[in-house]
């Protein structure tokens, strides 16, 4: 049976296991997306993209969380109607702690950041090593969208998770979504 409400996404379940002997502390999990929207037949199709972040009310009453956090990318000029879709990433499930001590208080994004493909990390470009990636993931700041067309990327992160003991596994479910939206 097909249901149009549930056919424009793919879910992925990550099982993150601490295979080491040390306790992992202050963990963050993130999706780094280089959306590159547009037909591959167009020269430099990745140079006119934008990104943003939105919180959408959940459609199902009683659904937790009451709204969904989606980081998304799109082709700013739409390529003459050839690229009308928006591509998004979001968290569907991960450990939570209502007190916010051992995990975020709700399922969702705690850090959203944008990067320009033609700049250094210090000037707003991609993180290039684990230290820079952790620095971005752990900011717990929601940046504004990058709406000026360019070669951009986005990061949606969640955390912190206080610890992951040796041998312990944490499950995180993410979704990659596609949709059309009217442009204001």
> What's the confidence (pLDDT) of residue 62?
63
Higher-pLDDT residue of 102, 43: 102
Say whether pLDDT at 183 is over 50. Answer: no
Give me the chain's average pLDDT, please: 89
Q: Identify the pLDDT of residue 98.
A: 93
Phi, psi of 159 (to 5 degrees): 140, -175
Q: Is the pLDDT of residue 179 over 90?
A: no
User: C-alpha angle with apex 73: 70 to 78, nearest 5 degrees?
Assistant: 135
In the three-class reduction of DSSP (H, G, I as helix; E, B as strand; rest coil), residue 155 is classed as strand
Q: Give the residue with greater pLDDT, 110 vs 146.
A: 110
Of 176, 179, 182, 181, the closest CA to residue 12 belongs to 176
Which pLDDT does position 88 carry in this prediction?
93
Quote the CA–CA distance of 131 and 144 in Å, as a whole number.
23
Read off the pLDDT of residues 12-62 as tens digits, 9 standing for 90 and up: 999 999 999 999 999 999 999 998 888 888 888 888 899 999 998 877 666
The reported pTM is: 0.87
E-only strand ranges, 18-107: 24-33, 49-57, 67-75, 85-93
User: What does the DSSP 8-state code read for residue 119?
Assistant: S
Question: pLDDT above 90 covers what percent of the chain?
Answer: 61
149 Cβ contact list (under 8 Å, min separation 6): 47, 48, 49, 50, 76, 77
Residue 99 CB partners (closer than 8 Å, separation 6+): 105
Lowest mean pLDDT among 5-9, 39-43, 170-174: 5-9
Give the residue ranges of DSSP H helices in the chain: 130-137
**Number of structural domains the chain divides into:** 1
SS3 26: strand
Query: Tell me: the pLDDT tens digits for 64-97?
Result: 667 889 999 999 887 878 888 899 999 999 999 9
d(CA 175, CA 93): 10
Closest CA to 136 of 30, 40, 39: 30
Query: What is the rounded distance in angstroms from the CA atom of residue 93 to the CA atom of residue 170?
Result: 11
Residue ranges making up the domain that contains 33: 4-180
């Amino acid at each position: 049976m097909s249901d149009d409400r549930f056919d424009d996404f793919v879910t992925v379940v990550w099982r993150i296991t601490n295979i080491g002997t040390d306790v992992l502390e202050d963990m963050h999990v993130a999706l780094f997306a280089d959306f590159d929207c547009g037909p591959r037949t167009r020269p430099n199709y990745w140079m006119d993209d934008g990104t943003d972040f939105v919180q959408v009310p959940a459609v199902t009453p009683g659904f937790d969380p009451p709204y969904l956090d989606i980081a998304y990318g799109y082709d700013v000029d739409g390529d003459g109607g050839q690229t009308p879709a928006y591509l998004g990433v979001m968290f569907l499930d991960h450990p939570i702690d209502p007190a916010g001590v051992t995990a975020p208080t709700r399922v969702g994004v705690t850090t959203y950041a944008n990067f320009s493909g033609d700049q250094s990390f210090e000037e707003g470009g991609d993180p290039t090593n684990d230290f820079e990636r952790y620095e971005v993931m752990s900011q717990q700041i929601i940046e504004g969208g990058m709406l000026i067309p360019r070669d951009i990327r986005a990061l949606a992160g969640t955390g912190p998770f206080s610890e992951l003991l040796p041998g312990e596994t944490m499950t995180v479910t993410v979704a990659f979504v596609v949709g059309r939206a009217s442009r204001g």
